[in-house]
């Protein structure tokens, strides 16, 4: 009985494995066997006799100890050192094998795992049989690794990077191609997850191609970025392993919007169309060489394609009145170059201002600009008295006009020296605080609600005259007395109170003097008669 000992691979002479490996890789197992039987000389002699090359197949991920092959060597492994047989596995992959008696088994002790994707399709080693350290025979060990689906598909990083797509990209065009690979070489199909955030924008026409097609127009003005979740899934395997990636697509602005004037008021919420403002300003005849300040202001437009921000050109289409108004074609600033003549009939200039894109004059917008010519305001309005006197006679009419002395209509008019006739048409009259009993018309006439008044009442009201152009105000008080039905309105101030205040009272004084004189003469006449009788 001869002893067989098993040597570790390290002890063994490295065989011509490199050459072999090179040859073997592209070939399949059958070719191998043919090649080997031609090229390899098998030494068969006792006790190493009975052996042969080993061809076997192993599944990936097989556990350690997995049976590979039974050796044909006739000698039994034993402990007889005197006449020792030594079996040695050598070669690059020798560490994957161990001998258990005459059985060749897989050594996949932790952490090693037999992985076809890492190891390649074959394990190659040599089995050498020594007797007394003399090579008796050599055998090839060729173990094919059978594939298992132990890898998931993986996206190729470069194909799922951020993408930038112009918003004007035509629907149905291919935006980009995603690609996933599977180490097991499985066929992969791609699916857009319908529950991801923006699946509606994309579709995949050919599931195996990974070509992402634009399904719906993009609009930079509403969205500048969309996201989609894409699955890559094995098709031909039982496990159908999958992986997913979120694609972020940045939308690039395209020139599809017109410029609009600011501030932009949306036609309705969410609709990206602006209603143009109307710019207005006030000038007077005195102004010239002036950059006009508008409200809302300044006159400014912006390109609807904010991502492009194309340069804009401003121009006055009409109303410029022979370059009385000039616009800066870059800034939209409007300048008054010449003063408006004093005798100018027009109160308002209406300019039509256009803005267009420098690179596309057909993308434009037009706005109205109102320039009011106000009268030069140097003087405030004034009342020629601080207090006016009014009377109202009680009657059955619901309303009556307040009169003044001599039963004349009381008209409280403020005069304005800015106007040649003293009458500023922009003055508005009001009663402060508003009274329920009186109203004032824009001609300065007071109207009383006669039905709510009581005889002998006295009201003092405050009338305010306001220049609507300049905002200047002046006020005066009106002292109104309510007279009894039938009572006469006094002709003048004196009959009421002052006896000797003015011309009227002097006249009254004269009358009184005459009356006194008459009374006196009557007394003298009576006294004279009494004296005569005596």
Ligand X SMILES: *[C@@H]1O[C@H](CO)[C@@H](O)[C@H](O)[C@H]1NC(C)=O
Contact criterion met (CB below 8 Å) for 301 and 292: no
Instruction: Compare residues 189 and 394 and give the one whose CB is closer to ligand X.
Output: 189
Min separation Cβ 442 and ligand X, Å: 14
154 makes contact with ligand X (CB under 6 A): no
Cα–Cα dist 230/211, whole Å = 11
The C-alpha torsion from 282 through 288 and 290 to 296, rounded to 10°, is: 10
Min separation Cβ 319 and ligand X, Å: 6
Where on the phi/psi map is residue 386: left (φ > 0), alpha (ψ -120 to 50), or beta?
alpha
- Of 80, 103, 248, 295, the one binding ligand X (CB under 6 A) is 295
- Of 5, 66, 107, 495, the one binding ligand X (CB under 6 A) is 107
Site for ligand X in 355-374 (CB under 6 A): 372, 374
Binding mask 384-413 for ligand X (x = CB under 6 A): x----------------------------x
Min separation Cβ 340 and ligand X, Å: 8
Min separation Cβ 469 and ligand X, Å: 5
Cα–Cα dist 465/460, whole Å = 16
Instruction: Compare residues 274 and 355 and give the one whose CB is closer to ligand X.
Output: 355
Contact criterion met (CB below 8 Å) for 114 and 96: yes
Binding span for ligand X by CB under 6 A among 34-42, 200-208, 280-288, 456-464? 280-288
Residue whose pair of structure tokens reads 């004296």 in the numeric block: 531
Write the CA distances from 109 to 96, 98, 100, 113, integer angstroms. Answer: 9, 11, 15, 8
Going by C-alpha positions, the residue among 96, 225, 88 that lies closest to residue 163 is: 225
Min separation Cβ 220 and ligand X, Å: 27
Instruction: Compare residues 47 and 332 and give the one whose CB is closer to ligand X.
Output: 332
Binding span for ligand X by CB under 6 A among 194-202, 222-230, 277-285, 447-455? 277-285
- Of 132, 443, 468, 496, the one binding ligand X (CB under 6 A) is 468
User: Using alpha carbons only, what angle is made at residue 446 by residues 445 and 447, rounded to the nearest 5 degrees?
Assistant: 120
Min separation Cβ 49 and ligand X, Å: 25
321 makes contact with ligand X (CB under 6 A): yes
**DSSP tag of 451:** G
Would you call 202 helix, strand, or coil by DSSP?
Answer: strand
229 makes contact with ligand X (CB under 6 A): no
The beta-carbon contacts of 197-205 under 8 Å, at least 24 apart in sequence, are 197/226, 197/227, 197/228, 197/229, 198/223, 198/226, 198/227, 198/228, 199/228, 199/229, 201/226, 201/228, 201/249, 202/175, 202/228
**Size of the chain in residues:** 534
Going by C-alpha positions, the residue among 51, 123, 127 that lies closest to residue 89 is: 127
Neighbour tally for 394: CB within 10 Å: 19
- Of 55, 163, 176, 231, the one binding ligand X (CB under 6 A) is 231
Instruction: Compare residues 33 and 282 and give the one whose CB is closer to ligand X.
Output: 282
Q: Give the H or E element holding residue 67.
A: strand 67-70
Instruction: Compare residues 211 and 372 and give the one whose CB is closer to ligand X.
Output: 372
Cα–Cα dist 212/173, whole Å = 9
Contact criterion met (CB below 8 Å) for 437 and 454: no
313 makes contact with ligand X (CB under 6 A): yes
469 makes contact with ligand X (CB under 6 A): yes
348 makes contact with ligand X (CB under 6 A): no
Min separation Cβ 7 and ligand X, Å: 11
Binding span for ligand X by CB under 6 A among 25-33, 172-180, 279-287, 361-369? 279-287
Cα–Cα dist 260/277, whole Å = 10
Site for ligand X in 414-453 (CB under 6 A): none
Q: Pairing relation of β-strands 84-90 and 3-7?
A: parallel
Min separation Cβ 372 and ligand X, Å: 5
Going by C-alpha positions, the residue among 33, 40, 17 that lies closest to residue 138 is: 40
290 makes contact with ligand X (CB under 6 A): no
Min separation Cβ 480 and ligand X, Å: 17
Cα–Cα dist 364/330, whole Å = 14
Site for ligand X in 236-255 (CB under 6 A): 242
95 makes contact with ligand X (CB under 6 A): yes
Number of shown-chain residues binding ligand X (CB under 6 A): 23
Instruction: Compare residues 167 and 469 and give the one whose CB is closer to ligand X.
Output: 469
98 makes contact with ligand X (CB under 6 A): yes
Min separation Cβ 413 and ligand X, Å: 4
- Burial-class residue 75 by CB neighbours within 10 Å (0-12, 13-18, 19+): buried
Going by C-alpha positions, the residue among 41, 3, 39 that lies closest to residue 137 is: 41
Instruction: Compare residues 257 and 375 and give the one whose CB is closer to ligand X.
Output: 375
Binding span for ligand X by CB under 6 A among 161-169, 276-284, 455-463, 496-504? 276-284
Min separation Cβ 197 and ligand X, Å: 16
Contacts of residue 406, Cβ cutoff 8 Å, sequence gap at least 6: 489, 491, 492
Residues contributing to the site for ligand X (CB under 6 A): 95, 98, 107, 109, 191, 231, 233, 242, 280-282, 295, 313, 321-322, 329, 346, 372, 374, 384, 413, 468-469
């Amino acid at each position: 009985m001869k002893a067989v000992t098993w040597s570790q691979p390290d002890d063994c002479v490295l065989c011509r494995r490199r050459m072999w490996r090179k040859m073997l890789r592209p070939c399949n197992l059958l070719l191998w066997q043919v090649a080997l039987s031609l090229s390899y000389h098998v030494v068969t002699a006792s006790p190493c006799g009975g052996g042969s090359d080993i061809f076997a197949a192993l599944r990936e991920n097989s556990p350690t100890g997995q049976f590979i092959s039974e050796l044909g060597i006739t000698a039994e492994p034993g402990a007889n050192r005197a006449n020792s047989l030594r079996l040695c596995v050598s070669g690059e992959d020798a560490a994957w094998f161990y001998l258990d008696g005459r059985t060749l088994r897989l050594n996949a002790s932790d952490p090693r795992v037999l992985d076809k994707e890492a190891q390649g399709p074959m394990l190659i080693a040599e089995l050498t049989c020594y007797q007394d350290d003399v090579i008796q025979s050599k055998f090839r060990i060729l173990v094919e690794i059978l594939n298992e689906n132990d890898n998931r598909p993986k996206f190729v990083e470069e194909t799922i990077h951020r993408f930038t797509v112009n918003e004007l990209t035509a629907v149905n065009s291919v935006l980009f191609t995603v690609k996933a690979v599977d180490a097991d070489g499985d066929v992969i199909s791609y699916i857009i997850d319908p529950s991801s955030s923006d699946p509606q924008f994309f579709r995949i026409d050919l599931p195996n191609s990974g070509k992402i097609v634009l399904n719906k127009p993009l609009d930079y003005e509403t969205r500048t970025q969309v996201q989609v979740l894409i699955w890559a899934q094995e098709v031909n395997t039982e496990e159908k392993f999958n992986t997913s990636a979120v694609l972020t697509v940045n939308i690039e602005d395209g020139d599809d919007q017109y410029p609009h004037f600011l501030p932009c008021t949306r036609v309705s919420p969410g609709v990206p169309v602006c209603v143009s403002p109307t710019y207005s300003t006030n000038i007077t005849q005195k102004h010239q060489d002036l950059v006009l300040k508008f409200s809302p202001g300044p006159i400014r437009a912006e390109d609807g394609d904010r991502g492009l921000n194309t340069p804009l050109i401003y121009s006055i289409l009409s109303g410029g009145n022979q370059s009385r108004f000039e616009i800066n074609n870059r800034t939209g600033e409007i300048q008054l170059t010449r003063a408006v003549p004093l005798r100018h009939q027009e109160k308002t200039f209406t300019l039509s201002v256009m803005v267009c894109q420098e690179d596309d004059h057909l993308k434009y917008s037009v706005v109205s600009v109102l320039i009011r010519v106000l009268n030069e305001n140097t003087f405030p309005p004034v009342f020629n008295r601080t207090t006016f006197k009014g009377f109202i006679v009680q009657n059955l009419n619901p309303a009556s006009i307040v009169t003044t002395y001599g039963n004349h209509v009381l008209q409280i008019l403020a005069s304005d020296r800015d106007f040649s006739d003293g009458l500023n048409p922009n003055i508005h009259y009001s009663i402060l605080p508003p009274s329920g009993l009186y109203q004032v018309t824009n001609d300065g006439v007071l109207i009383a609600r006669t039905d709510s008044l009581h005889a002998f009442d006295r009201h003092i009201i405050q009338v305010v005259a306001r220049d609507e152009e300049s905002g200047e105000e002046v006020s005066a008080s009106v002292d109104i007395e309510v007279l009894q039905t039938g009572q006469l309105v006094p002709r003048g101030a004196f009959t009421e109170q002052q006896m000797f205040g003015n011309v009227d009272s002097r006249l009254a004084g004269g009358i009184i003097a005459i009356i006194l004189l008459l009374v006196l003469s009557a007394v003298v006449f009576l006294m004279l008669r009494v004296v005569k009788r005596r």
